[in-house]
Amino acid sequence: MPIRAILFDKDGTLVDFQRTWGPATHTVLTQLSHGDGVVFDRLCAASLYDAAGRRLLPGSPVVIETTYGYGKLWAEALGVPLTREFVDGIDRMYFRATLDHLTPMGDVRGLLSDLAARGLRLGLMTNDAAANTRAQLRQLGLDRLLEFVAAYDSGYGHKPDPDPVLAFAAFAEVAPREVAVVGDTEHDLAAARAAGALAVGVLSGPVPRERLEPHADVLLPSIAELAEWLCGRASKD
């Protein structure tokens, strides 16, 4: 079955996760702790965040969850209720901090332009907020290349549920089995498989090979190898 559409994860796949979210998370946790070192350390522990290395560790809820998911842990660490206002405040902090450090994963715009020129439908699925995602895509020059965007608050559900994948397939007017989902976490690949799409894992994010491999139909070093893999697959179809 040929691949007619590709649904990308954002962070760790199109965006360099550690170079973007590593320093951005330091900024956000510093703001939330208001200079209190004990509170800062508590937030780091809840986030599985290495403050010295400015890195999110494997298994970090910031890597895989929506803002509500890790926001619940942060609210507990701060001793405050988990409210919509609290979550929206986190998203606003990350909005600026991620734009300040936004780093693409190589020539992402060139790759997506090439894929679109081949007639492939392109979309994005992320557990980040919609406003933040749209701003990042504009800054990277990807907003016109990605026809479909499903963030955690876009109304399509969120990973690891299959709903965003199924919504993209319906949007692109293709069968789910004609969609390749490309991502760097178990949640990306679980959503793909649950929807009946092809699960393409990339090793460019913080999740190690041994955790991705059981969930992937295909495992690539990064999206830099995606075009070559697609050509090889097309020649066999």
Per-domain residue ranges of the chain: 5-16+104-236, 17-101
Residue 191 near residue 158 (C-beta atoms within 8 A): no
pLDDT average, residue stretch 88-103:
98
User: What's the confidence (pLDDT) of residue 237?
Assistant: 63
Taking the C-alpha atoms of residue 75 and residue 127, their distance in angstroms, rounded to an integer, is 19
pLDDT average, residue stretch 39-61:
96
**pLDDT over 90 (residue 1):** no
Q: How far apart are the first and last CA of the chain?
A: 7
Confidence of residue 233 (pLDDT cuts 50, 70, 90): confident
Confidence of residue 100 (pLDDT cuts 50, 70, 90): very high
∠ CA 64-67-72, rounded to 5°: 100
Residue 63, phi then psi, degrees to nearest 5: -75, -40
Taking the C-alpha atoms of residue 39 and residue 32, their distance in angstroms, rounded to an integer, is 9
Give the tens place of pLDDT for each residue, 7-19: 999 999 999 999 9
Give the tens place of pLDDT for each residue, 195-209: 999 999 999 999 999
Under DSSP, is residue 108 helix (H, G, I), strand (E, B) or coil? helix
**pLDDT over 80 (residue 23):** yes
Please tell me the CATH superfamily of domain 5-16+104-236, with its number.
HAD superfamily/HAD-like (3.40.50.1000)
Confidence of residue 232 (pLDDT cuts 50, 70, 90): confident
User: What's the confidence (pLDDT) of residue 79?
Assistant: 96
pLDDT average, residue stretch 208-223:
95
**pLDDT over 90 (residue 145):** yes
User: What's the confidence (pLDDT) of residue 235?
Assistant: 63
**pLDDT over 80 (residue 45):** yes
**pLDDT over 80 (residue 172):** yes
User: What's the confidence (pLDDT) of residue 231?
Assistant: 87
pLDDT average, residue stretch 51-74:
95
Helices (H), the chain: 17-33, 37-47, 61-64, 67-78, 84-101, 108-117, 130-140, 163-172, 186-195, 209-212, 226-236
Do β-strands 49-50 and 55-56 pair in parallel, antiparallel, or remain unpaired?
A: antiparallel
> Mean pLDDT across the chain, nearest whole number?
96
